[in-house]
Amino acid sequence: MKKIILIIIYSFFWKNFLKFFIGLKYVNEKTLKNKKQFILIANHNSHMDTMAIMSAIPSRYIHKVHPIAARDFFGGSLFKKILMRYLVNATLIQRDRDDPNNDPIDSMDKMLKKTRSLILFPEGSRGVPGVMAKFKKGLGYLIQRNPEINVIPVYLDNVYKTLPRGKNLILPYNCSIKFGDPIKFKSMEMDDILLSSEKAMQKLMK
């Protein structure tokens, strides 16, 4: 049931809306086609980012892909929670790691062990357009625990212009979403992981 809702929303509505009305161009989105499980990392400047990425995911396993969202921002009311759960397929996590019983890395790790895929915004929150902030360490911990999973960088080029931060009017703008090839890590050191992911992202930015 959830799968059908998600397919209707993303593969039909958002995909066509973004393609024909907004002017979003999908670049190399076929790279997702024959991968069962992956972690997508993307730059984050606007709420449209999640919609754009979800609309590019093949409908066959869209129900298994979960955007990661901050509980303190999106988990406010019950309505918001239900909306996030059923219409965005999001997983809400704690932003900080103060509570050891409720570690965000643990909950994301659990999702990956259940063969789910994740969409992460490793900059932590919506940043300044065009400037890539330092990636959070959480990405590194997650990759260290799941070294065999494909990590695919996604660059959203000008997508934020359709819905800039603080605005609530969606307007068309010619923009694109670029998928990179899976990142190859030299080693499982934290610095190495973060550096290679940042480099992969920078390569897509050009």
Partner 1 sequence: MNKIFNSVNLIAEIQWVIAIILAILVFATILFWFWNRINPSKLVDEMQLRTRSWWVMCIIFLFASIVHPVVTYLALGFLSFLTLREVYSLLNLREVDRSVLFFCYLSIPIQYYFAFKGFYTLFLIFIPVFMFIIVPFLLVLTGETKDIIRSMCILPTSLMLGVFGISHLALLINFPEMNSNGVSGKALLLFLIFITEANDIMQFVWGKIFGKHKILPRVSPNKTWEGFIGGVISTTVIGCLMGFLTPLNTWQLIAISSSMAVFGFMGDAIMSAVKRDFGVKDMSSAIPGHGGILDRVDSLSTTASPFFHLVYLILITS
What is the nearest approach in angstroms of partner 1 to the Cβ of residue 173? 5
Compare residues 93 and 156 and give the one whose CB is closer to partner 1: 156
What is the nearest approach in angstroms of partner 1 to the Cβ of residue 160? 11
What is the nearest approach in angstroms of partner 1 to the Cβ of residue 113? 42
What is the nearest approach in angstroms of partner 1 to the Cβ of residue 171? 6
Compare residues 82 and 171 and give the one whose CB is closer to partner 1: 171
Compare residues 167 and 199 and give the one whose CB is closer to partner 1: 167
Q: Note the residues at the interface with partner 1 (CB under 8 A).
A: 23, 158, 161, 164, 167, 169, 171-175
What is the nearest approach in angstroms of partner 1 to the Cβ of residue 49? 18
Compare residues 23 and 124 and give the one whose CB is closer to partner 1: 23
Compare residues 39 and 159 and give the one whose CB is closer to partner 1: 159
91-93 sheet: strands from edge to edge: 24-27, 175-179, 150-157, 38-42, 117-120, 65-70, 91-93
